[in-house]
Amino acid sequence: MDNQSENLTPEESLQVIRSMIEKTKTAVADNSFYFLLWGWLVFAAALLQYVLVVFVRTPMDGMAWNLMFVGFIVTIIRGARKQPRRVKTYVDEGLRHIWECVLILQIVIALIYFKRGDWEHCYPFFILSYSIGCFLTGRLIRFAPLGWGAVACWAIAILMTYTDTPTNMLLTSVAVLVSYIIPGYLLRAQYKHQRLKQ
């Protein structure tokens, strides 16, 4: 393989890179399910918590985030049932490592704020952590909506420093809408369009 890569012209090398990106983009688009699953779960949990705080006024509002366990269970079951791809590119591996890092970072943030007890300040940090995954994924697969969603998350995180906790719950819903849900549907539409062309 090394000898083959040494014999490639610059144009052929670019074509190989483009091909890897397109294959990964198709795989990510095929997995838009996960963007939509996690997007809708976070969207629903943030709105449910807002309702529990503002209208129900219960101290048990944090229970809304137990919806995330549904996401973990569905992800594990779906991952176990899905046939692994035969060919994985460096971009595939990079994306996997990026999202593993985001997951670990989210767990660490949750543990820190659970221990500290000032959970109302955690929203911007959750948004910033998953926006990194969205931005890098968007750049690697050259899908602009993910990048723009991440940029919107950065603006929302800054805005959260000027708003109260219930408003931050609503802003969390907005952040996940622009960074996960909308790009997830756009990825799915693009994947379906590509499948029709084949």
Give the pLDDT confidence of 4-60 residue by residue, as tens digits.
Answer: 445 767 676 667 666 666 666 566 666 688 889 999 999 999 999 999 999 999 999
Cα–Cα distance list, 70 to 65, 93, 97, 184 (Å): 10, 26, 23, 19
Residues 105, 129 contacting (CB under 8 angstroms) = yes
Q: Assess whether pLDDT exceeds 90 at residue 78.
A: no
Identify the CA nearest to 184 among candidates 140, 134, 112, 124: 134
Residues 142, 18 contacting (CB under 8 angstroms) = no
Torsion, Cα of 32, 110, 49, 183 (10° steps): -20
| Residue 80 pLDDT class (50, 70, 90 cuts) | confident
Identify the CA nearest to 102 among candidates 57, 55, 52, 35: 35
Helix intervals (H) in 82-164: 90-116, 123-140, 144-160
Give the separation between CA 93 and CA 37, rounded to whole angstroms. Answer: 22
What's the confidence (pLDDT) of residue 117?
A: 84
Identify the CA nearest to 50 among candidates 166, 159, 160: 166
Task: Indicate yes or no: pTM above 0.85.
Answer: no
Evaluated on CA atoms 18, 21, 25, 26, the torsion sign reads positive
